[in-house]
Structure 1
Amino acid sequence: MFALSKVLRRSQSLRLGACNAVYYSKLEIPLREKNGATESNSLIHDRYEAFPTFFELSWSSFTGRRALSSDAGVKSAGEEDDLENLETPNETSGDSEDGLQSEEELSGDDGDIEGAEMELLHPEAGKKAASKRSSELFKDILAVSGLSVASALDKWVEEGKEINRTEIANAMLQLRRRRMYGRALQMAEWLEENKPFELEERDYASRLDLIAKIRGLHKGEVYIERIPESFRGELVYRTLLSNYAATSNVRKAEAVFNKMKGLGFPRTSYACDQMLMLYKRVDKKKIADVLLLMENENLKPSLYTYKILIDAKGSSNDISGMEQIVEAMKSEGVELDLRAQSIIARHYASAGLKEKAEKVLQEMEGENLEANRHVCKILLSIYGSLQRADEVTRIWRICEENPFYEESLAAILAFGKINKVKEAEAVFEKSVKMGHRVSSSIYSVLLRVYVDHKMVSEGKDLVKRMLDSGCNIGALTWDALIKLYVEAGEVEKADSTLRKATESKQIKPLMSSFMYVMDEYARKGDVHNSEKIFQKMRQAGYQSRFRQFQSLVQAYVNAKTPAYGMKDRMKADNVFPNTRLAAQLAKADPFKKTPLSDLLD
């Protein structure tokens, strides 16, 4: 553990971490008051709350999304090139797009943490899931309207079927895996009202997690007060922590993290991993602080911890630092699993280190790919990023005869990356004809290919076909459609589409959907419409942070219009500029000095 934090402290990208924190904590001076507002790779720069000592930590805040405890940030327009940058809806009043995961979720550490949490919340389901058996109760729930989960459960009881913990847990897990959080919450509410068996803390924690997803964290806080005190244990607060961390509400996350200590709950690797995930998105310089805290608490890094650190280094383009983390991991006897390998390979590919990326991919593939079919979807994705058309074609031939659904999704994107749109369309048609689990996600990935290749008419035809097929349009599809119009130069149409998505009661548009439109208005110097999108994002529940202000200020700069009160607006939202944004603000400063003003002075 000492070696691990040492690697981070001497790293260029994380150099302001634990060493300074120890010094300032002894003086009981908040870290940020000494260090000032520093930059962190163009992430969010919020002022930190003051806390008395380092061991109570002090974190900043940022807004993001959640899929139990996962995340991918929103990048600027032009950087979001494929599905691995798309987000999953955070809060919906219904069910999310069936089965669609981003490439990052398919190979990243977030899914591991989610799996660990689900194993605790629904351990019986985990045992039964190993046999790949489907839940009969889950099938009955799907057979009724989404608003009638209680009626399905009542009918189950009327027919004399037993509702035991194992059956409930397995059905709950299947609903969660398909992002059907609305139905899962209805089931949790029915259980608490009817109590077919004695409830445990994990039942309350599961309902808390679903409330946070569907109705928001404020409602989750209210619900905690209703949980019997005897069941208000570490798992409940840990669930609340993971939700705050995943939505990047650092102020709340740190409060829960510290409250858990105050309530006498032991520090755990899981709780620290949540904070590491948060810092990975918000301020990588603070990761070393959490690691030092783990050292002092004698907490051994988990496999998840290492993967978070590997990803943090890789996303900072610190490849040598990433490799040092891998070596530290191996020295502790922790083996790389498939997810860790895929994270490493992706970062090698992003850094242009093709030989290193391909070496990792070859290790993942093993000697018999047909026996290792589970890695095909990852190989397709990364080989696509590497522009290895031969490898994409070779791997797809292995899957082609009887492809799994996720392999089809990955293949469509991979063929799109290597500019083989016809092959991507062929995979789509094959998947549709097979008829298994065809949902909006298969349309979304092909639509993304059309967007990347600026095939506007094909994209519009695909959306019409999707509607005719009866598929619901989810957040990912809206996002791709909005980007399609922006790429086609039809920003007004994109704005209109965004309005329709915002008015839909079934989904919450992704932050990227707003940013596509806002960035285009900003590029044109359209201050009025940029401000309009800025306010719509607030109304949709997205806090105004660095990224939004960056685009808004650029609109004023391009319009050559002074941005009155912009600094005060940013300060009110606890957003503080980095060097680049400060330069933008100077250009839009209504009181800036000019040659004429100097003469008048």
Structure 2
Amino acid sequence: MGSLGRALSKGSIRCLTTAAAARESAEGSLFQRLTALAGTDGSAGVELNKWLEEGKSVKKWEIERFIKRLRGYKRFKHALQLSEWMDTKDMKLSRGDYAVRIDLLAKTQGVDSAEKYFHSLPKAKRNWATYGALLNCYCVNKMTEKAESLFGKMKEEKFACTSLVYNNIMTLYLKIDQPQRVPPLVQEMKGKGLKLDIVSYNLLMNSYAAMNDVEGAEKVVEEMKGEGKAGGWSTYSNLAAIYVKAGLFEKAESTLKEVEKTEGTKSREVFQFLMSLYAGTGNAAEVYRIWDALKSAFPKSTNLSHLVMLQSLVRLGDISGARVFFDEWESKCLHYDFRLTNVMISVYLNRNMINEAESIFEGAKKKGGIPTVRTMEIFMDYHMKNAQFDFVLKFLDEAITKSYSNNWKMSVEKFQPLKKYFEENGNVDGAEELYEKFKKTNSLEAAVYDSLLRTYIAAGRTEPTMRQRIEADKVEVNPEMEKLLEKVCPL
């Protein structure tokens, strides 16, 4: 073991040089170093080692805080590197640390990697926290069969003992349009004596709303009142949203008045919900009233508040008012937020006003705005719809470049028109280029290879290494793909 290795200890890592350096906090400048890695090939682990070599120290709880903050910024790759770094220094990980690792692996390397890590853990480490983290991965990715299987296993192991576990499954059922399966789960919770939290009640309300059972949603609120869990602004705003969706605008506005009476009106978040929901009722006067009230309560309005107001004006169909509002914000903002620009770009592209959209886009960049992956997606969607595939590829390259640190994935379904275009024209080079982009964004699925094989067949070409490529990419060959493979890569 070298001098650096001998200076390491569990729980607290310290390089023993001067006492002054050892006391220096990692909270400030070290985190700045870590955030500076965004958009680079730099490793958070390497940066930590450099920090130690400079005679400074960092404690485990500080690293955990860094991981939490990086996750909040969607810097999952670097957060994972910090998590793995703790392993290399033989730090004693908590059950929460293991659960976070599972989540980070799923976000950066896919659910398969998260599964492998989970199953590699000693049985004692496969507890309610790690089971719950894997269940969340399945639910987020709509992997219903695996989620239900794991949920059953958790019941057997007595790990399905919190509302969070049930909330994950109920959220999944709402995502896959099976709201009817939510109420029975709530009854199951009650039968086990598990207390429903606010999220549980809101999911139950939303399930009734999805089934067009407004009365059922109202009964949930009454039940919450009986349990002493209603009265908060989140409950009433959720009910108001249900009324808006059902077109019951009078009931929605009456409920929003209840929201305004709560203590929650002291927060920006409540004002933002009110603006959005009043816009849903089509009441422009109330939207402007709430905006004025927000500015009165919080003279320094945030970009997020401006974003919600802009979205509300668009929802009202007041496009000219939205443009005036946007121009005013853009002329005064201290920190440019491209989310507002994205709203205006979408407005114009949805109306086939490409020149106006491009003008907004170029103007924002001149003012120092930095386009986001979402910006590129908006333009890609427009050009895809209009079969302008050269532009699609141009903005796709930009999206991939910008997505380096937040692990953006390409939607196979979204790029179906482009895949079909390459197939119909036997454009193998184009199909291979698209394949590489799917691979680069960790978005490969069987459907990508299916399209690539069909393109080779349309071009009358073979590819002897195709089977090895598929195996290396860990893509499962289904019977239909096997038929295509026989033509492209005969055995």
Q: Does the alignment pair 1:346 with 2:244?
A: no
Q: Does the alignment pair 1:381 with 2:279?
A: no
**2:221 and 2:235 in contact (8 A); partners too:** no
* Cα distance between partner residues in 2 of 1:447 and 1:273: 36
Aligned 1:564-579 pairs, distance under 5 A: none
The structure whose residues are more often helix, as a share, is: 2
2:220 equivalent among 325, 336, 342: 325
Give the Å deviation of 1:407.
0.7
* Cα distance between partner residues in 2 of 1:154 and 1:237: 32
> For the structure 1 residues 243 and 430, does the alpha-carbon distance in structure 2 shift closer, same or farther, using more than 3 Å as the test?
farther
Alignment partner of 1:419: what SS? coil
1:285 equivalent among 173, 177, 180: 180
> For the structure 1 residues 404 and 366, does the alpha-carbon distance in structure 2 shift closer, same or farther, using more than 3 Å as the test?
farther
Give the Å deviation of 1:160.
5.0
* Cα distance between partner residues in 1 of 2:135 and 2:264: 40
Q: Does the alignment pair 1:185 with 2:80?
A: yes
Give the Å deviation of 1:242.
0.8
**1:483 and 1:494 in contact (8 A); partners too:** no
**2:240 and 2:251 in contact (8 A); partners too:** yes
Q: Does the alignment pair 1:461 with 2:355?
A: no
User: Which has the greater radius of gyration?
Assistant: 2
* Cα distance between partner residues in 2 of 1:226 and 1:521: 38
> For the structure 1 residues 312 and 161, does the alpha-carbon distance in structure 2 shift closer, same or farther, using more than 3 Å as the test?
farther
Alignment partner of 1:416: what SS? helix
Structure 2 unaligned segments of length 5 or more: list them. Answer: 1-25, 448-477, 481-491
TM-score, normalised to structure 2, is: 0.70
1:414 equivalent among 301, 312, 324: 312
Give the counterpart letter for 2:127 in structure 1: G
2:65 is aligned to 170
Give the Å deviation of 1:320.
1.6
1:236 is aligned to 130
> For the structure 1 residues 466 and 182, does the alpha-carbon distance in structure 2 shift closer, same or farther, using more than 3 Å as the test?
farther
Q: Does the alignment pair 1:451 with 2:345?
A: no
Give the Å deviation of 1:156.
4.0
**2:232 and 2:262 in contact (8 A); partners too:** no
* Cα distance between partner residues in 2 of 1:354 and 1:135: 49
* Cα distance between partner residues in 1 of 2:330 and 2:53: 38
1:194 is aligned to 89
CA deviation digits over 1:331-382, x for unaligned, max 9? 2332243333322222211221111111222222238997343312212222
> For the structure 1 residues 438 and 223, does the alpha-carbon distance in structure 2 shift closer, same or farther, using more than 3 Å as the test?
farther
CA deviation digits over 1:198-253, x for unaligned, max 9? 32111111111111111101011112244344333210111000110111101111
**1:475 and 1:510 in contact (8 A); partners too:** no
Q: Does the alignment pair 1:294 with 2:192?
A: no
**2:118 and 2:134 in contact (8 A); partners too:** no
> For the structure 1 residues 301 and 232, does the alpha-carbon distance in structure 2 shift closer, same or farther, using more than 3 Å as the test?
same
> For the structure 1 residues 183 and 256, does the alpha-carbon distance in structure 2 shift closer, same or farther, using more than 3 Å as the test?
same
**1:440 and 1:474 in contact (8 A); partners too:** yes
Alignment partner of 2:58: what SS? coil
Give the Å deviation of 1:151.
4.1
Aligned 1:47-446 pairs, distance under 5 A: 136=28, 137-145=30-38, 146=40, 147-158=42-53, 161-195=56-90, 197-282=91-176, 283-366=178-261, 371-400=266-295, 401-429=299-327, 431-432=329-330, 438-446=336-344
> For the structure 1 residues 383 and 451, does the alpha-carbon distance in structure 2 shift closer, same or farther, using more than 3 Å as the test?
farther
> For the structure 1 residues 454 and 361, does the alpha-carbon distance in structure 2 shift closer, same or farther, using more than 3 Å as the test?
farther
> For the structure 1 residues 502 and 415, does the alpha-carbon distance in structure 2 shift closer, same or farther, using more than 3 Å as the test?
closer
* Cα distance between partner residues in 2 of 1:314 and 1:519: 34
**1:384 and 1:392 in contact (8 A); partners too:** yes
Give the counterpart letter for 2:145 in structure 1: R
Give the counterpart letter for 2:117 in structure 1: Y
* Cα distance between partner residues in 2 of 1:484 and 1:443: 16
CA deviation digits over 1:451-509, x for unaligned, max 9? 3444321212233345566766544223322344467x455467546754786563545
Alignment partner of 1:163: what SS? strand
What fraction of aligned residue pairs are identical, expressed as a percent? 25
Aligned 1:486-501 pairs, distance under 5 A: 489=386, 492=389, 495-496=392-393, 500=397
* Cα distance between partner residues in 2 of 1:261 and 1:164: 37
TM-score, normalised to structure 1, is: 0.58
Question: How many pairs are equivalent?
Answer: 405
* Cα distance between partner residues in 2 of 1:476 and 1:315: 28
**1:276 and 1:308 in contact (8 A); partners too:** yes
* Cα distance between partner residues in 1 of 2:356 and 2:349: 9
CA deviation digits over 1:525-550, x for unaligned, max 9? 99959xx99x9899845788xxxxxx
* Cα distance between partner residues in 2 of 1:371 and 1:421: 30
> For the structure 1 residues 541 and 426, does the alpha-carbon distance in structure 2 shift closer, same or farther, using more than 3 Å as the test?
farther
> For the structure 1 residues 371 and 149, does the alpha-carbon distance in structure 2 shift closer, same or farther, using more than 3 Å as the test?
same
Give the counterpart letter for 2:144 in structure 1: V
> For the structure 1 residues 266 and 311, does the alpha-carbon distance in structure 2 shift closer, same or farther, using more than 3 Å as the test?
closer
**2:337 and 2:369 in contact (8 A); partners too:** yes
Structure 1 unaligned segments of length 5 or more: list them. Answer: 1-133, 545-570, 574-601
Give the Å deviation of 1:317.
2.7
- Please report the RMSD computed on the Cα atoms of aligned residues, expressed in angstroms: 3.8
